[in-house]
Amino acid sequence: MFSSLGRKILFAIASILILFWLFFFWWSVKEQKKFYLQQMRREAQAIYHYIVLAREWISSQGGIFVKQGERFIKITPSHFTKELARFAAPRNLPFTFKVAVINTQNPSHRPDEFEKKAILAFQKENIQEYWKLYENQTTPVFKYAAPLKFQKVCFNCHSNIKNYQPPACISVTLSAKPFLEELKKNYLRLSISSVLITILIFLALCWLIKYLILTPLNKFILAAKEIEKGNFNIRVKLNTGDEWEKLSICFNEMLDSLAKQQEKLEEKVREATKELYQAYSELKKTEKFRSEFFSNITHELKTPVTAIKGTVDLIERKKSADHKHLAIIKKNIEKLSKMINDLLDYSKIESGQIELLKEENNLIETIEDAIFMVSSLLQQKNIEIILENKKDIWANYDNEKIQQVLSNLLINAIKFSPENGKIIIKVSENEKDVIVSVEDFGPGIPPEEQEKVFQKFYRVSKDKREGIGLGLAICKGIIEAHGGKIWVSQPDHRGCIFHFTLPKGEEDGRKSQNSHH
């Protein structure tokens, strides 16, 4: 079977051969018909010249005498032509002839339509012969006409009309049937022979294309498929003594070079893999050390902080210390405690050990609880929180963890909001998620830093306040652990908007609502 390329080539060759065959057949038919027409013309012309020659001979003799009964009658060329045509009529000869004259009273010389046209053509166009093939008749005929001219010898009989050329012609009618039948046979022979020759040429070209083009090409295709599988040991061997053999030599040399390069690359990959594995092992050790460090340091810091806080509480109960200094100590202890808790929370998130106690909760209630937790900070700066949507919205989440996320977002918003400002909280939902946004009117976050704010230990360049930069990283970890996402956007005013989503879960919120109330 031929390949796709082979079929295209064969289709192109077949199309060219068919077009060539059609043109050749049309041209051959046309030329054969022209040849047979010329044959009939020459045959009619020969009869015409024979008649003219006989007429001229009779004229040169001044007429001839023929015997009719007991006496001799003088015959002129005109009578000779008429009598000869009458004598030939009953003998079924393949031709007939007559002298046709315009405006004659003699019915035997009266012209038909063809002869009239011929005589007019001789007079107006000054041509020497006129013919036409009539194929549509029951018996096809070929008609030929040539002008009847008076020669010098003619004036022996017509001395009174010197220099006169009559409007007349000699017409010859041949039966075209034998010629047309032979022409049809030639058409059939030509059709069969040309079709057979075309088919032989096509088969020969198919063989040449297959063995001179497609077979070597298929060897290269098979070799390319083996190379695609990674086999660089394949080689193409051709002994054709032409460009295909030169191409195979170049192809094999290219494969030798690729095989050597492949070996070098594999060696480099093995070395790089070994180095990468060593680096990965070192990284794992470093990561383990870092996690252990944070765990240990937070544990070590938490113990003295607890002791300090207990001592401060004792002094406060006894009222034997300065309240101002005690407030400062307490405030700093709370900050230190928050830092430690953040370190612990992030350590759990990063190690994948965060535990979520998911259940169906009313998100509006969770937001209101988070607002209550930061109410003292709101009062200090006289900031108003606006919750735009107070319709109950239910979702499946860890209430304590989401409160922590909301508290962190609100604390950040309060920190960066001006005094007497406001913070807007919006809640919406779709078929799968609930969406919460916290919008403030502070200085905002530069666009180039918006993607970095969720990284651990990262602080916005405008933020010169306390903190170790883990709040937003913890928010991101908690939200993603719930299967949601968190991001920040720029509003059309100063400030920024933090958004996060939470999956609703598979349970029906209204059914769970009854269990919570």
Out of 39-43, 103-107, 375-379, 410-414, which region has the weakest mean confidence (pLDDT)?
Answer: 103-107
Buried b (16+ CB within 10 A) or exposed e, 439-470: bbbbebbeeeebeebbebeebbeebeeebeeb
Neighbouring-strand partners of residue 426: 437
Out of 55-59, 234-238, 327-331, which region has the weakest mean confidence (pLDDT)?
Answer: 327-331
Determine the pLDDT at residue 516. 38
Determine the pLDDT at residue 397. 93
DSSP 389: -
Arithmetic mean of pLDDT, 112-123:
89
Give yes or no for residue 403 having a pLDDT over 90. yes
- Distance in angstroms (rounded) separating the CA atoms of residues 403 and 411: 12
* Backbone torsions φ then ψ of 23, nearest 5 degrees: -65, -45
Determine the pLDDT at residue 461. 56
Arithmetic mean of pLDDT, 34-50:
89
Neighbouring-strand partners of residue 95: 174
Among the listed residues 449, 448, 441, the one whose alpha carbon sits nearest the alpha carbon of residue 418: 441
Mean of pLDDT over the chain: 81
Neighbouring-strand partners of residue 141: 134, 175
Better-predicted residue by pLDDT, 88 or 117: 117
The confidence band for 369, taking pLDDT boundaries of 50, 70 and 90, is very high
Determine the pLDDT at residue 425. 95
- Most confident among 167-171, 321-325, 425-429, 452-456 (mean pLDDT): 425-429
- Distance in angstroms (rounded) separating the CA atoms of residues 25 and 359: 90
Better-predicted residue by pLDDT, 472 or 212: 472
Judge whether 363 and 405 are in contact, CB under 8 Å. no
pLDDT tens-digit series, residues 266-311? 889 999 999 998 888 888 876 775 665 566 566 556 666 766 777 6
- Distance in angstroms (rounded) separating the CA atoms of residues 33 and 179: 9
Q: Which residue has the tokens 């989440």?
A: 397
pLDDT tens-digit series, residues 124-141? 888 889 999 988 767 888
Domains and CATH numbers, the chain: 4-183 (no CATH), 232-353 (1.10.287.130), 357-516 (3.30.565.10)
Determine the pLDDT at residue 449. 83
Buried b (16+ CB within 10 A) or exposed e, 179-218: bbeebeebeeeeeeebeeebeeebeebbeebbeeebebee
The confidence band for 507, taking pLDDT boundaries of 50, 70 and 90, is very low
Determine the pLDDT at residue 153. 47
- Distance in angstroms (rounded) separating the CA atoms of residues 41 and 265: 87
Judge whether 362 and 341 are in contact, CB under 8 Å. no
pLDDT tens-digit series, residues 227-271? 888 787 788 888 777 888 888 888 888 888 888 888 888 889 999
pLDDT tens-digit series, residues 447-467? 888 888 888 766 665 554 455
Arithmetic mean of pLDDT, 41-57:
88
Determine the pLDDT at residue 157. 52
Arithmetic mean of pLDDT, 176-205:
85
DSSP 210: I
User: What phi-psi label fits residue 505: left (phi over 0), alpha (psi between -120 and 50 degrees) or beta?
Assistant: left
Judge whether 31 and 24 are in contact, CB under 8 Å. no
Q: Which residue has the tokens 């069969």?
A: 192
| Torsion from C-alpha of 18, 24, 30, 33, nearest 10 degrees | -110
The confidence band for 510, taking pLDDT boundaries of 50, 70 and 90, is very low
Q: Is 175 helix (H, G, I), strand (E, B) or coil?
A: strand
The confidence band for 102, taking pLDDT boundaries of 50, 70 and 90, is confident
- Distance in angstroms (rounded) separating the CA atoms of residues 443 and 449: 13
- Distance in angstroms (rounded) separating the CA atoms of residues 120 and 136: 24
Query: What is the SS3 assignment for 230-275?
Result: CCCCCCCCCCCCCHHHHHHHHHHHHHHHHHHHHHHHHHHHHHHHHH
* 169 class by beta-carbon count within 10 Å (0-12 exposed, 13-18 middle, 19+ buried): buried
Better-predicted residue by pLDDT, 82 or 501: 501
Query: What is the SS3 assignment for 71-125?
Result: EEEEECHHHHHHHHHHHHHHHCCCEEEEEEECCCCCHHHCCCHHHHHHHHHHHHC
Determine the pLDDT at residue 148. 84
Give yes or no for residue 485 having a pLDDT over 90. yes
- Distance in angstroms (rounded) separating the CA atoms of residues 510 and 514: 7
The confidence band for 515, taking pLDDT boundaries of 50, 70 and 90, is very low
Arithmetic mean of pLDDT, 334-350:
75
Judge whether 354 and 481 are in contact, CB under 8 Å. yes
Give yes or no for residue 487 having a pLDDT over 90. yes
DSSP conformation letters of 411-430: HHHHHHSPTT-EEEEEEEE-
- pTM assigned to the model: 0.41
- Distance in angstroms (rounded) separating the CA atoms of residues 216 and 365: 79
Give yes or no for residue 512 having a pLDDT over 60. no
Give yes or no for residue 61 having a pLDDT over 60. yes
Arithmetic mean of pLDDT, 382-405:
91
Better-predicted residue by pLDDT, 305 or 209: 209
- Distance in angstroms (rounded) separating the CA atoms of residues 27 and 20: 10
Buried b (16+ CB within 10 A) or exposed e, 52-89: beebeebbeeebbeeeeeeeeeebbbbebbbebeeeee
446-449 own/partner pairs: CB under 8 Å, 24+ apart: 447/490
Q: What is the distance of C-alpha 358 from the center of its chain?
A: 51
Two tokens, residue 138: 């029951």
- Distance in angstroms (rounded) separating the CA atoms of residues 299 and 328: 23
Determine the pLDDT at residue 144. 93
Determine the pLDDT at residue 97. 85
Among the listed residues 420, 412, 338, the one whose alpha carbon sits nearest the alpha carbon of residue 370: 412
* 257 class by beta-carbon count within 10 Å (0-12 exposed, 13-18 middle, 19+ buried): exposed
